[in-house]
Structure formats: C-alpha cells, structure tokens
A and B are shown apart, each in its own frame.
Chain A
Amino acid sequence: MSEIRGETDDPFVVAEIENPIVEVDKLSLYYGDTQALYDVDLAIPEREVTAFIGPSGCGKSTLLRSLNRLNDLVESARIEGNVRVSGADIYAPDYDVIDLRRRVGMVFQKSNPFPKSIYENVAYGLRIAGENRSSVLDESVEKSLRAAALWDEVKDRLKDNALGLSGGQQQRLCIARTLAVEPEVVLMDEPCSALDPIATVRIEETISELKNDYTIVIVTHNLQQAARISDYTAFFYLGRLVEFNQTQQMFTQPHLKQTEDYVTGRFG
C-alpha cells in the first residue's frame, strides 16, 4: 500500500456520540519539527470502552497521552487544536493540570508500582490530594483493590513491598491505584502487553466490570482483545484517524478499505 501522509480519504467517523466525555477537536501534535498527529477529530463516549488500534508508530499512544497532558513532560511537544474533557478545554493556559490528571487517570504499559507498600501505593493519590484520615484511606484502598480484582490476594499483606508482587498483580495494583482517586476517565496504554495470557484475561475481566462506572480508553496492539472488550474502536494510521465506529461494525463491516486490510491482518 502506498500511503503518503497528507493524501488519504476522509476518515469515517460514526454518527454523533451522545455524551462525549472527551472531545478531541482538530488536534495536531508536533515533536519539534516532526508532526505526530494530523487533525484528529474524535469524541469518546461516556462509560464505554473505546479502543485505539493501529500499527506501531501511528500515534495512538501519543493521542492517549495528550488526553491527560502527559505530553507536557516532553519539552519539544507542541499542539494545535484542542481537547475538551467534560466540556472544558484542558490546554487552556490557566487550566488545573493536577486536577485533570486526577480526573483522567492512566495505567501504563509497564507496571510501575512505587517502591512503597501495597497500601501506600493505592493510598498515594488520596494522600497527595491532602487526605490523611486513615478511615477514609482504608476504605478507599479496599474498594479500589476489590474493583481491580486484587483484594483477595493481598488483603493479608497490605504492608508488604509492592515490588514483591507478580507482573499481573503489579499491573492490577496500578489499576487499583488509578481507581483510588475516583477518576472519570481511565486511560490504558497497552496494559496487557507485558503480561502472560492468564493475567491478561483477569485484566480484561476487570475492564469489563469497570466500564459500568468509568470511561475507559485502551490502546492495544491485540486486535482480538480490542474485539473482545471494547464497545467503540478508533483505527489510526500514520498519525491520522482513519475510522471510528462501534467495535462490532468495525470488525465485521469496516467502511474503509484500509481499515478492512488492517483488521483482517493483511497488513499490520
């Protein structure tokens, strides 16, 4: 396929999402002089699982990180267009980034528990927000660990070092940690790519339960995973949004040939 940046068909985007919690409006992102995202227009529906799929380097992780302004950490990053979360423009100069990151949480590809106890890891978000009452913290820790399907395994060793957990447990801990601050949106950047199949299944189960209360955006390389757990899917290619549709539609009757080629595995 000879795809040249700047010359593709218009992206297909499914009909209006009713309650978009995150709206991406003509977002372009540059790392220095290199452009990574081209005019992305996207609305993420509330309390659903949205998957971002696409080949490596297509910008899905970049877009994900733009949603909670983690790209601010990269000095050369620069954006045009805007992103609105619950109606507010998050790139406005006086917008409270700290608050944004509490409301839009993130789980990373490689689990990154802090070198503290399991309890302290989960309680971290609340502590830095100023909450120090142990009753509140205890309750939150238990609730989050249950939501992440980890409570039963660690309830007797909350004071143990988090680094002693297995890979899958650590990732669930990171999910619990993110849930503890009660975000509205949970971003997940390939959360299962470093895990074995059993652990992956448990995380996917967790995600399916979480979507009742949280909006989830998940970046994944694994098309089967996207098909299994997501309600909506966005397909990216070379920095552009190619197609955004309900998952069932996307995988059975994709609108654009490019999408069809990707989901059937003709290129990846």
Chain B
Amino acid sequence: MTLRFWRGGDPFIWLTGSALAFCLLMISGLVGIILYNGVGVFWPSALEQLYLRDGQVVLGKVVDRQVIPDQPEAYRIQLKVGNRDAYGLDFRWVDEADIERIEQPAPVVVFERLEWGDAYGYLEQITQDGQVLAADGQDVWKALQPLLEASAKRWEIIRSIEHEEMGELNRAMEDLRLEKRRLEMDGAKPEAMAELEDRDRALWDRYERVSERLNAVRAENEQAAVSIRLADGRERSVRVADIVRTYQPNALGVWGKIGIYCEKGWEFVAGQPRESNTEGGIFPALFGTVMMVMLMSLAAVPFGILAALYLREYAKQGLFVRLVRIAVNNLAGVPSIVFGMFGLGFFVYGVGGSIDRLFYPEALPTPTYGTGGILWASLTLALLTVPVVIVATEEALAAVPRELREGALGLGSTKFQMIWNVVLPSALPGILTGVILATARGAGEVAPLMITGVVKLAPDLPLDAYWPFFHLERKFMHLGFHIYDVGFQSPNVEAARPMVYTTALLLLLIVLALNLTAIVVRNKLRRRYASTAF
C-alpha cells in the first residue's frame, strides 16, 4: 500500500503544493506587514492622557506595547508625546505598572506643524497682533479656524512670489551671469559688458522690491499665535502660520476621522516633504521615480529589441554570435552597484564632463552634466535592464513558427518585410513580457542610483513649466532611496518609521500598477496573435 502511495505521485502533489503555499506565505507576509504598518499611519487615533502613580501626567498617542526586557508578564507602552521643542524627544516609554488611570479628554488638540513635528495640548488663548481674541477652550477653537484660512491664503501668496516671481528673477540673473562669463571668455568689448551690468542692476532692483513684498506678507503671517497648555502644565506658543493641520482627535466622529485620513493620504501623495523627509509628502520622490522609469524604458526597450533582432534574424549564427549571447546573458547577472560605478565613470565624468566642456564652459567649475542627474541615472539603469529585454525578445522571436516566416517569404517578401509585417507583430506579446520584467527590475534598483544622481532632497522637479521643460541634468528624488534615507539616515528614527512603511506601500502599489497595465496590454495582444507560443 505504501508503494502505491509513492508511485501514485501523491507525495509529489504535497511537495509542490507546500512549496507554493510557502511562496504565498512569504508574499502575503511581506505585503501584510507593510499594509499593517502602513495603512493605519494617517488614521487620527485618539490621544490618551495617562495619570501616573508618581503624579506625572503624560499626554500622547499609543504607538507600541512591549514586554519589558527583564520582566516577563510586565508590559510597557510607547507613546508619541510630540512637542519636541518642549520635551526634547517625540516618544517615551511608560511602564504599565506605573499607570494609575487613563482618560481620553475631549478638548485636547493636535497641531501638525511646519517645524518640530506635532504639538499636543489644551487650547488656552489666541492672540493677534498682541490682542487677545479668545481665552476659553472652545472659543479659541472657533476663532482659530478663520485665522487658519487667512494664513493658508497668505502662504499661497508667499509660495507664488517665491516660486514664480523670484524664480523667474533667479533664472534671469543666472542666465545673465552665464552670458557675462561667456563674453569674458570670448574676449568682450567693454560696451557689451557695461550693458550686461545695467541689466544686472535692473534685475537686482526688481528682486529687492519683490523681497520687500515677500517680507511684508511674511510679517503679516507672524502676527497670530495660539498658546496651548501641555500635559505637564507648561505653556507654549504656536504661530498660526506654522500650523499645517489641526484637529481634536477625541472629539471627532468616524466621518471626521475618515476626512482627516483622506486629507493626510492626499498630502502624502501630492505634497512636499518636511522635517528632513520624516513628515509631509513624497510627491517629488514619486515623480522622480516614475520619470526615471519612463526614461529608462525609453532608452532600454528600443535598443534591446533592435539588438535582439539583429542577433536572431540577421547575424550569421556562429561562434561569435554565441559568445555575444553569453556576454549579454552574463550582463544580466552583474551586481547593480557595478553598473553604478560604470555609470559614474563613463556617463557622469566621461560623457558629462565632455558635454560640459563643449557646451557649458561658462558654468564651469560648477558641473552641469558632469555630475549626477536623472539622465545619467536613467541611462545607467537602462544598461542594467537591456539584457533582460534582449533575452526575452530573442526567445519571442525564436518562438515565431517557421511556417509563418516561410509563408511570408513565399509571397515575395524581402527579409525586412517578413520581419516587420509578420515576425515582429507575432512576437509582440513575448517582447512585452520582457519589457515588463525589465521595467520591474529597473524600478526596484536603488544602489546604482545613489551614485548617479539621486539626492535626499531635491529643490526642483526635473520636469517643469520652463524651457527646456525637461531638465535632464537635475538631480532627483527616488522612492526606493527615500525609504532607505528615511528609515536609516534619519535624525529621528521613531518618527520616521511610519513613513518607511507608507512609502514602501506606495512603491509596491506603483510597481503593481505598472505591471498590471503591461499584463493587460499583453493579454489583449495575445488574443489577437493566438498562434504564437508565448
């Protein structure tokens, strides 16, 4: 009977089934951890006020609960107490044994601030220009709302002045400086130089006037302030202009909380980072990642397909072609950091340096293309992914049945017509598979990017509304690097941890979206070209 069991193949079914189950477990474990830690980050959870036995009062959000290291059965909880400017640190541990009672007072308020993180406390007073507008908790809350709106409007003006007007002036002054330098290098006539000096002075005048306006608005913004009382009784003053968001978590209903959640989620995806990347949004990193992946695909895919076409269709199949194929396959296994080094040496210093010498000599010694940037990073990753595209394309071309090729030739096609009209369209599903794999691989690599153009915080996006629109020499931010930076290079690791998970979740979702799109397209094509094996 046992012999039957072995021969019947049941153990094999169990073996293959458990291998699959293990894989699924790993995948779901990975996704589950990220989801568990990442999805709840923006939920405005309740603030607890802890009254300790020794009389201390602690106010904060519970973020963790652990067994105390040397005392099994005894737990401690970690609270985010905020108010880093007052306490020195955001988080603190409290032994459960020390807690006398816990309350969730309704009037407690959360301020999310531009600097120093969150502030938790009780509203005391609100002043504008030195005048007290309200002094009772709920009145202060009501008086705060219109002031917040006014402040938001002023921030928009400030941002518009800084970004558009001053940005334009900066650009004009920089162009002028480069023009001067160019003239100097070419040997300039004093009249030409004098004209440039005049223009320079005019620009500076305008700049000063804009600065004045900016300072005026800023000064206006600084007039309103709220004072709050912290859990330990101290009073702190917070400028209304510094408040990004405020809410009373213990007084919010479910819908209110959902609203805050969606707001914060949107801010995460579309906003700019604050506080050394531990708060705010990751939009620049998101944008940088997507743009880099597109540039990389644009470079790698046509190049790879053409190379594979030559290898498979035109090259005489002999020893040399076999060696080339082996070399290409090996290239796919090279560690990505090595590609980074190559990118640095060849693209950044080699090609970039030459471009600088030829086209941007007036900017030197500041490098334009001779330093890391999105173009070099994308090209480096393109090199990494080209072997994948070549291998997949070759397989797809080889899978096109001989009868189809003979049929085309039999009608009087030239080789090119056969390839263009019959072979390539039939191989398209397989080629797309290769493109999907290559894009997924490239989107996930971080190491080579670190030395060819990714930075922690980039002042501008590589694509904006000003000529030449695509600024391929600019450095950029990248989600993968962002995760590394926030998780491990952050001055405040505790505060940063939630960001790591949410960023990882977002990265997973993006890769998933890219893959799904490509798969849908490929399936549509497959139904049309049903005769091929892929």
Interface residues of A in 101-132 (CB under 8 A from B): 101-102, 105-106, 108, 110, 112-116, 124-125, 128-129
Q: Which of B406, B410, B528 has a CB less than 8 Å from the CB of A115?
A: B528
Interface residues of A in 50-100 (CB under 8 A from B): 68, 70, 73, 75, 98-99
A169 at the binding interface (Cβ < 8 Å): no
Q: Which of A112, A128, A129 has a CB less than 8 Å from the CB of B403?
A: A112
A47 at the binding interface (Cβ < 8 Å): no
Q: Are B530 and A102 in contact (CB-based, < 8 A)?
A: no
Q: Which of B317, B404, B532 has a CB less than 8 Å from the CB of A112?
A: B404
Q: Which of B317, B410, B417, B426 has a CB less than 8 Å from the CB of A68?
A: B410
A163 at the binding interface (Cβ < 8 Å): yes
Chain B: which residue is nearest A106 at the CB level? B410
Interface residues of B in 103-122 (CB under 8 A from A): none
* Shortest distance between the CB of A164 and any CB in chain B (Å): 9
Residues of the A chain whose Cβ atoms lie less than 8 Å from the Cβ of B414: 98, 128
Q: Are A70 and B411 in contact (CB-based, < 8 A)?
A: no
Q: Are A124 and B528 in contact (CB-based, < 8 A)?
A: no
A interface residue count range (under 10 / 10 to 19 / 20 to 34 / 35 or more): 20 to 34
A25 vs B403: C-alpha distance when bound (angstroms): 28
Chain B 395-415 per-residue mask, 1 if CB under 8 angstroms from chain A, else 0: 000000101111111111110
Q: Are A105 and B410 in contact (CB-based, < 8 A)?
A: yes
Q: Are A73 and B412 in contact (CB-based, < 8 A)?
A: no
Residues of the B chain whose Cβ atoms lie less than 8 Å from the Cβ of A70: 406, 409-410
Q: Which of A110, A114, A177 has a CB less than 8 Å from the CB of B422?
A: A114
A161 at the binding interface (Cβ < 8 Å): yes
Q: Which of A108, A110, A125, A163 has a CB less than 8 Å from the CB of B412?
A: A125
Residues of the A chain whose Cβ atoms lie less than 8 Å from the Cβ of B410: 68, 70, 101, 105-106, 108, 178
Q: Are A128 and B401 in contact (CB-based, < 8 A)?
A: no
Q: Are B530 and A163 in contact (CB-based, < 8 A)?
A: yes
Chain B: which residue is nearest A72 at the CB level? B409
Q: Are B407 and A101 in contact (CB-based, < 8 A)?
A: no
Given contacts A112-B404, A114-B422, contact A181 B411 (CB under 8 A): yes
A124 vs B401: C-alpha distance when bound (angstroms): 18
Residues of the A chain whose Cβ atoms lie less than 8 Å from the Cβ of B273: none
Q: Which of B403, B413, B530 has a CB less than 8 Å from the CB of A108?
A: B403
Residues of the A chain whose Cβ atoms lie less than 8 Å from the Cβ of B407: 108, 112-114, 174, 177
Q: Are B528 and A161 in contact (CB-based, < 8 A)?
A: yes
Given contacts A114-B404, A124-B421, A128-B417, contact A163 B531 (CB under 8 A): yes
Given contacts A115-B529, A115-B530, contact A129 B412 (CB under 8 A): yes
A75 vs B315: C-alpha distance when bound (angstroms): 13
B interface residue count range (under 10 / 10 to 19 / 20 to 34 / 35 or more): 20 to 34
Q: Are B528 and A73 in contact (CB-based, < 8 A)?
A: no
Q: Are A110 and B411 in contact (CB-based, < 8 A)?
A: no
Q: Are B409 and A101 in contact (CB-based, < 8 A)?
A: yes
B361 at the binding interface (Cβ < 8 Å): no
Chain A: which residue is nearest B401 at the CB level? A112
B265 at the binding interface (Cβ < 8 Å): no
A73 vs B410: C-alpha distance when bound (angstroms): 11
A113 vs B404: C-alpha distance when bound (angstroms): 7
* Shortest distance between the CB of B431 and any CB in chain A (Å): 14
A112 vs B404: C-alpha distance when bound (angstroms): 6
B425 at the binding interface (Cβ < 8 Å): yes
Q: Are A124 and B403 in contact (CB-based, < 8 A)?
A: no
A183 vs B39: C-alpha distance when bound (angstroms): 69
Given contacts A98-B412, A99-B412, A105-B410, contact A110 B530 (CB under 8 A): no
* Shortest distance between the CB of A216 and any CB in chain B (Å): 15
Residues of the B chain whose Cβ atoms lie less than 8 Å from the Cβ of A106: 406, 410
Residues of the B chain whose Cβ atoms lie less than 8 Å from the Cβ of A105: 410-411
Given contacts A108-B403, A108-B407, A112-B403, contact A101 B425 (CB under 8 A): no
* Shortest distance between the CB of A256 and any CB in chain B (Å): 33
Residues of the B chain whose Cβ atoms lie less than 8 Å from the Cβ of A161: 528, 530
Chain B: which residue is nearest A104 at the CB level? B410
Interface residues of B in 473-525 (CB under 8 A from A): none
Chain A: which residue is nearest B416 at the CB level? A128
A161 vs B422: C-alpha distance when bound (angstroms): 14
Interface residues of B in 300-323 (CB under 8 A from A): 317
Given contacts A112-B403, A163-B530, A163-B531, contact A125 B425 (CB under 8 A): no
Interface residues of B in 15-47 (CB under 8 A from A): none
A163 vs B404: C-alpha distance when bound (angstroms): 12
Residues of the A chain whose Cβ atoms lie less than 8 Å from the Cβ of B401: 112
Q: Are A181 and B412 in contact (CB-based, < 8 A)?
A: yes
* Shortest distance between the CB of A155 and any CB in chain B (Å): 22
Q: Are A128 and B421 in contact (CB-based, < 8 A)?
A: yes
Residues of the A chain whose Cβ atoms lie less than 8 Å from the Cβ of B412: 98-99, 101-102, 125, 128-129, 181
Interface residues of B in 367-424 (CB under 8 A from A): 401, 403-414, 417, 421-422
Chain A: which residue is nearest B316 at the CB level? A75
Q: Which of B317, B411, B530 has a CB less than 8 Å from the CB of A124?
A: B411
* Shortest distance between the CB of B246 and any CB in chain A (Å): 61
Residues of the B chain whose Cβ atoms lie less than 8 Å from the Cβ of A101: 409-412
A105 vs B459: C-alpha distance when bound (angstroms): 66
A266 vs B532: C-alpha distance when bound (angstroms): 42
Interface residues of A in 151-208 (CB under 8 A from B): 161, 163, 174, 177-178, 181
* Shortest distance between the CB of B416 and any CB in chain A (Å): 10
A108 vs B411: C-alpha distance when bound (angstroms): 12
Chain A: which residue is nearest B404 at the CB level? A112
Q: Are B409 and A114 in contact (CB-based, < 8 A)?
A: no
> Given contacts A113-B407, A163-B530, could you give 14 more A-B pairs where the C-beta distance is less than 8 Å?
A73-B409, A98-B414, A101-B411, A102-B411, A106-B406, A110-B403, A112-B404, A115-B529, A124-B408, A128-B412, A129-B412, A177-B407, A177-B411, A178-B410
Which residues of A are interface residues toward B (Cβ below 8 A)? 68, 70, 73, 75, 98-99, 101-102, 105-106, 108, 110, 112-116, 124-125, 128-129, 161, 163, 174, 177-178, 181
6 smallest CB-CB distances across A and B, nearest first, come from A102-B412, A112-B403, A106-B410, A115-B529, A112-B407, A125-B411
Provide 27 A-B residue pairs closer than 8 Å at the C-beta atoms, listed in order of the A residue: A68-B410, A70-B406, A70-B410, A73-B409, A98-B414, A99-B412, A101-B409, A101-B411, A102-B411, A108-B403, A108-B410, A112-B403, A112-B407, A114-B407, A115-B425, A115-B531, A116-B425, A124-B408, A124-B411, A125-B411, A128-B412, A128-B417, A161-B528, A161-B530, A163-B531, A177-B407, A178-B410
